A and B are shown apart, each in its own frame.
Chain A
């Protein structure tokens, strides 16, 4: 019937959007995907294989081994001997916490294809899952010496360093990302956050510059706006800066506060919480102009 195929179209579109956005909303993917597979498989054409893969990974996230197994069998049948399917089988072993078996699975992929980046990255994920951060960091560094353009890997490494409070090395990873993605406001903003966390006047000034840069690239980035306010206010309040620098930073901080105020006014529907946020922002403004 017309409405039934409409429904399957909608579900298909949802899954496609979630794939494109790399959304980890696994419960929803399982809900939609399971229904699609069970009741509308015939309408999916060749899309069905990528959907099986997407649903399988989501099923692993939700401990739905029954569903994951079904998807895996379909993929094995359709693509016998595929490395991509072998990797999925490995992920299932990881989900079952059978790390040694999973590792062997990835090793067998690498024997046939030593450049298989997916298998190498899964091995590093196993180290992460086992809490072996130092080893994961070491392996990831080695991986990046070979695959220096892998952005996902650089970003993962920056996060591993941040969790170890090694902000200097995290900053280095983000510098790599900013070099190859100069228009990405998120990398700028994250770099600024790392610099701010490192502390010290020089790092604060750098963080302010990069928060400002992130705002130039995307003037709706609230983290960059708040970050600009925080870094500029701290610089202005520092006893180590001269009057010129202080004046300039008060100006930046004031500008940021006004922008923040405006953003809240635009967003606010007069809700109690937004009124309080606006009040807090006003108090922030008062505190800089007073000093």
Chain B
């Protein structure tokens, strides 16, 4: 019912926010598609295994978002993933509440995946050391978004996530992070970020 994050997913979210500290950023989270519908749906939490950074700057326009959702949806089908969440970091550091746009996108994702989560990044607590998780996770209940406390339990392995994210921030890996905007600027830019994925694996 609730989502958990892998190191790779968390890491790339934070790298995206770090690459554009003066902009709003957003992106998607993907989870592995469950093989069969489990009778006891409360047992296993959904594991978000990867993050696809989307845009930076002006977020609230529709066409490119639709393009990204279409292409990423196809990519998901090929990889047996499902779009399971949406993250956003607002332009103003102090502003970490979800806005109308975040709720809209979140609701759209929830149409295809009922346990979808909306995640807001709290930039006021964003440090190189990554000593605490800086996310606010919202679950969709009865057409409303309810905030859930984000602690180490929301991660597959918080210690690993903390260590690796901090290391990549120190090493300025965010300079090479590719989001969908970068991809639209130059199609050779790969929004799956294979090099960063390798770095994460290497540090594990």
Contact = CB atoms under 8 A, between A and B. Distances in A.
Interface string A32-55: 000000000000000000000000
Interface string A253-264: 000000000011
Interface string B99-116: 011000000000000000
B28 to A, nearest CB: 15
Interface string A116-155: 0000000000000101000000000000000000000000
Contact of A280 (B62, B64, B70, B188): B70
A264 B187 contact: yes
Contacts of B60: 162-163, 165, 197
B187 A226 contact: no
A276 B187 CA distance: 13
B173 interface: no
9 tightest Cβ-Cβ pairs between the two chains A and B: A280-B74, A267-B187, A197-B62, A193-B61, A280-B71, A276-B75, A226-B67, A196-B63, A273-B192
A61 interface: yes
A27 B187 CA distance: 26
Interface residues of A, number: 39
A32 to B, nearest CB: 14
A264 B190 CA distance: 12
Contact of A193 (B62, B74, B94): B62
B74 A223 contact: no
Given A131-B95, A196-B62, A222 B190 contact: no
Interface in A186-219: 192-194, 196-197, 199, 207
Nearest to B172: A27
B92 A274 contact: no
Nearest to A160: B58
Interface of A: 24, 27, 61, 129, 131, 159, 162-163, 165, 192-194, 196-197, 199, 207, 222-223, 226-227, 230-231, 263-264, 266-269, 271-274, 276-277, 279-281, 283-284
B74 A227 contact: no
Interface of B: 21-22, 58, 60-64, 66-67, 70-71, 73-75, 78, 91-92, 94-95, 100-101, 172, 184-188, 190-192, 194
B187 A279 contact: no
A173 to B, nearest CB: 12
A216 B74 CA distance: 29
A269 B78 CA distance: 19
A172 to B, nearest CB: 16
A56 to B, nearest CB: 16
Nearest to A267: B187
25 contacts: A27-B172, A131-B95, A162-B58, A162-B61, A165-B60, A192-B63, A196-B61, A197-B61, A222-B184, A222-B185, A222-B187, A226-B63, A226-B67, A227-B63, A230-B63, A230-B66, A264-B187, A266-B187, A267-B186, A276-B78, A277-B75, A277-B187, A280-B70, A281-B71, A284-B70
Given A273-B191, A276-B74, A193 B92 contact: no
A280 B73 CA distance: 9
A267 B188 contact: yes
Nearest to A283: B74
Nearest to B68: A226
B58 A279 contact: no
Contacts of B187: 222, 263-264, 266-268, 274, 277
A43 B191 CA distance: 42
Given A27-B172, A131-B92, A197 B63 contact: yes
Given A131-B95, A165-B100, A223 B70 contact: no
A115 B110 CA distance: 51
Contact of A24 (B22, B70, B184, B185): B22
Contact of B78 (A24, A196, A279): A279
A207 B63 CA distance: 10
A266 B186 CA distance: 11
